[in-house]
Structure 1
Amino acid sequence: MLELYQWELSHYSEKVRLILDYKGLIYRKIEVTPGIGQVDLFRLTGQRQVPVLKDGSKYITDSTEIAKYLDLEYPERPLIPKDPKQRGLCLLMEEWADESIGKKGRTALFSAISQDQNFRKSLLPTSTPDIFKSLVGGVPRDVLTILGLGVGYSPDVIKSAIADLKQDLEALTLLLADSPYLTGDEPTLADLAVAGLSILLKFPEGAYLDLPASIRGKGVPGLADNPNYEPFFAWRDRLYAQFRKPLIDVSPMGSAPTSIQID
């Protein structure tokens, strides 16, 4: 069975989960605990970041490389078009999504959780003990601001990221106004990348993530609640309803993440 080393809230992991579901592949999620779990992952793969896909004795790192690997080894429901123009557009949009929505989405979400302690607590997995949720929710905003500066999330960086994301969402909304998918009449890797990476901007309405039900449909203020971008998020949620397997519909082995295991 395929195994996905992941973080439940990682949007790059979600991109791969959506791809796996789109292809109808059975897989087991293995949650990598930040810190010690990343050390274990490095011992296995030489890679500390998730997602990492294990297929037999092979370990494939990076969400784009995982997508390409799955398209080669499991060609049913291809991700990348054969038509040269569509193929080029698909690969270009997938890379853009990784670099723009992927990276700036983390910045925007950090800003949102810094300002709202209830939102911050809601992002913890449903299995998180209440005492830990209280500790996380009680972290002062000033402390989070200092922590953000330490990882490059200055007020100017946050403002720029949100402005760029507004332009991205406007562009995507326009592209989808008269087309069912981003590169044509069939879904491609571009659609799955954009949809999966956008979860940090606004979480899907369905039960796709191990997060409290109260967080569904919520997201970054100014993006998730902006009526101008509602057509994009409605498209994203329709794509999820069509291809993403809700947690309640996944087999017990494939639904809840297990802790990392060393072979």
Structure 2
Amino acid sequence: MLELYQFELSQYSEKVRLILDFKGLEYRKIEVTPGVGQLELFRLTGQRQVPVLKDGNQYIADSTEIAKYLERKYPDRPIIPSDPKQRAVCLLIEEWADESIGIKSRKALFGALSQSENYRKSLLPMATPDLVKTLVGVVPNDVLRVLGFGVGYGPDVVKSAEEDLKQDLEVLCLLLAESPYLVGDQPTLADLAVAGLSILLKFPDKPYLELPATLKGKGIPGLGDNIAYQSFFDWRDRLYVQYRKPITQVSTIGSTPTSIQID
């Protein structure tokens, strides 16, 4: 069976999960513990970042490379068009989504976390002890903003990311205004990438992710709750209803992440 080494709240991991579900492939999720788990992942694959897909004895890293591998190895329900022009547009949008929505949504999310104690506590893994949640919650917002400078997520960077994402969402709303999909009349990698990468902007309200109930359907203030972008999130949610398997669905084997074991 396919195995996906992942972070549950990684937007790039979600992109791969949506592709796997769209193709109807069964897989087991293996949650990588930040830090020690990444060291074990490095031992197995030679790199520390998720997602990583294991197929037999083969490890494939990077969400785009995983998508291309799945398209070659499991060609049923194709996600990359055969028409040259549509193929080019599909791959162009997928690359743009990785570099824009994927990266900038993390910066915008950091801005939201630095302003809301409850939001950052809710984003901790569900198994996190209450004491740890309390300690995270009492970290002053100003301290998190200072830490943001240290990792390149200062207020100016966060604000710039938010403004760019507003433009991105506006463009997506325009593209989808008179078309059911971003490329052609069938879902492609472009749609699946954009939809999966958008989870940090607004979490789905149905049980696709291991999330506290208080976060389902919630998003980054000014982005996920902005009525101007509602048509995009409505489109995203319809795509999820059609193709994403809920974690409660019996046919999704290994739907609850298994933590990576450290030898």
Shorter-chain TM-score tier: over 0.9
Aligned partner of 2:220 in structure 1 is 220
Deviations 1:141-194 (A, max 9, x none): 122111111110011111110000000000000000000000121000000000
- Distance in 2, Cα, partners of 1:161 & 1:250: 39
Q: How do residues 1-263 of structure 1 correspond to structure 2 at under 5 angstroms?
A: 1-251=1-251, 253-261=253-261
What is the CA–CA distance in structure 2 between the aligned matches of 1:3 and 1:174, rounded to whole Å?
Answer: 37
Distance 2:56 2:262 in 1: 14
RMSD, aligned CA:
1.2
Contact 1:3 1:28 in 2 (8 A): yes
Distance, in Å, in 1 between the alignment partners of 2:135 and 2:250 is 32
Which 5+ residue runs of structure 1 have no aligned equivalent? none
List structure 1 runs of 4+ shifted beyond 3 angstroms: 250-253
TM-score after normalising by structure 2 = 0.98
Note the residue ranges of structure 2 that are not aligned, 5 or more in a row: none
The structural deviation recorded for 1:60 is 0.1
* Count, aligned residues: 263
Change beyond 3 A, Cα 1:144–1:132:
same
Q: Which moved more, 1:146-155 or 1:91-100?
A: 146-155
| TM-aligned CA distance change 1:3 to 1:189, over 3 Å | same
When residues 140 and 250 of structure 1 are mapped into structure 2, their CA distance, relative to the original with a 3 A threshold, is farther
Q: 1:251 to 1:132 in 2, by over 3 A?
A: farther
TM-superposed deviation, 1:69: 0.2
Residues 240, 85 of structure 1: alpha-carbon distance in 2 compared, 3 angstrom cutoff? same
Q: Match of 1:158, SS?
A: helix
Which is worse superposed, 104-113 or 145-154? Answer: 145-154
Over the matched positions of the two proteins, sequence identity in percent amounts to: 74
TM-score normalised according to structure 1 size: 0.98
Contact 2:204 2:237 in 1 (8 A): yes
Letter of the aligned partner of 1:166 in structure 2?
Answer: K
CA contact (8 A) 2:245 2:252 kept: no
